[in-house]
Structure 1
């Protein structure tokens, strides 16, 4: 009998067990509804296992639903199409499997065939080719330039020279930042007035507005330059309190908010 090969690796143990149990209970006089309740399955499943063929129901199916698309997958991955877009194309062609199964299948192909996969959002052939050509150039990120300007992070001499020569606005920003910091390093009021007059006439609109804002609030700016005191600690504490308040908004009571924010030295 076919049941004699239950332990073979070619058969699914769970399917074999369910097949035998359903038939055993049916032979004992249980109804389909009762069998379905006992084994936590649907009546259609019970009917399938009662009327179906043992081989087709219990034999392992090693074939993947992706196998029928194998040639197309290889072709698209080699052409630079991203896995996401390959998966979308397969869905349009009738693939019924899950996203994770498709990615696992493609990852095995990529590893076996040593394919240089695409990570681009667009799978347009022209876009992919343009981006591949750009890979031969040396790129500097926007964030990297900001870190160089504001935090003096390391930037190679070649990169620095190229940026300063080809992007005059960045060169002006770099000079402006250094001059403004020099005002506070030297605590020099004259440098402050010269800075304001110089950058009020700047061609860069943002720098011009910054200088005009300093002039409008000149008394506070003068105090910040001349005084060794700073309200940085107070502002930092305010930010911390506001963050606590916002994270609790709508979920906690006023009493808990007060307990987190109020300072009680006697407790």
Structure 2
């Protein structure tokens, strides 16, 4: 009989052949067998990150990554040079917006036209005045956005039965 990777499938197959033991015995046997098998170790590989985890990995400062992660990022940048260029541009944009760096926004947007995110640049150019204002004005809408999110959460918990008076009664303190 050949080795199966799935303990449940193996157990069912053994039961159909007359095995009377419990599932746990088969699972334990299979686990120890796979751990001892050098072929299994050779076949196993790290699952590459996807989505947000991949984006975070690519945008993290290379000096703070583990060796395997650094190697993974380096290999991806070598295989797709445009990805490295785009990541560098995103880091510069992030530095401009979050740290209010001295990068020239116009030059940065021009550089963005040669990246994989070139379709985003026209929208950023349309909002250039707002971006410049956010760099020089310290005012933020965060408290307002927080209250809007809170109101939406309260309304959702009322399962659509919230008219204005009921919502007002739940939000405003009783005086």
Normalising by the smaller structure, the TM-score range is: 0.5 to 0.7
Tell me, in whole angstroms, the C-alpha distance in 2 between the residues paired with 1:149 and 1:243: 33
The aligned residue for residue 46 of structure 1 is none
Q: Which residue of 2 aligns with 1:166?
A: 79
Q: How does 1:183-262 map to 2 (within 5 A)?
A: 183-184=96-97, 185-188=99-102, 191-202=104-115, 204=116, 207-250=117-160, 252-254=161-163, 256-260=166-170, 262=171
Q: Do structure 1's residue 107 and structure 2's residue 24 form an aligned pair? A: yes
Deviation at 1:182, TM superposition (A): 2.4
Whether the aligned pair in 2 keeps the contact of 1:149 and 1:177 (CA below 8 Å) is no
Deviation digits for residues 72-131 of structure 1, max 9, x if unmatched? xxx57x322352x4577799x7xxxxxxxxxx92222222563449xxxxxxxxxxxxx9
- In structure 1, the partner of 2:65 is 155
Task: For 2:114 and 2:46, locate their aligned partners in 1 and report how far apart those are by CA, in whole Å.
Answer: 35
Alignment RMSD? 3.8
Determine the C-alpha separation between the residues in 2 that align with 1:170 and 1:201: 11
Match of residue 30 from structure 1: none
Q: Deviations over 1:190-249 (max 9, x none)?
A: 6111111121243x2xx1122111111222122112212221232233223223322332
Distance change (3 Å), C-alpha of 1:201 and 1:80: closer
> Relative to 1, partners in 2 of residues 1:106 and 1:155: Cα closer, same or farther, differing over 3 Å?
same
CA contact (8 A) 1:187 1:226 kept: no
Structure-1-length-normalised TM-score: 0.48
Aligned length: 163
Query: What does 1:20-169 correspond to in 2, within 5 Å?
Result: 75=1, 78-83=3-8, 85=9, 105-112=22-29, 114-116=32-34, 134-135=43-44, 137-142=45-50, 143-150=52-59, 152=61, 154-157=64-67, 159-160=69-70, 161-169=74-82
In 2, Cα distance between the equivalents of 1:246 and 1:166?
Answer: 46
Q: Which residue of 2 aligns with 1:9?
A: none
CA distance in structure 2 between the aligned counterparts of 1:222 and 1:108, rounded to whole angstroms: 66
Q: 1:179 corresponds to which residue?
A: 92
TM-score normalised by the chain length of structure 2: 0.67
Aligned twin of 1:127: none
Give the corresponding residue for 1:52.
none
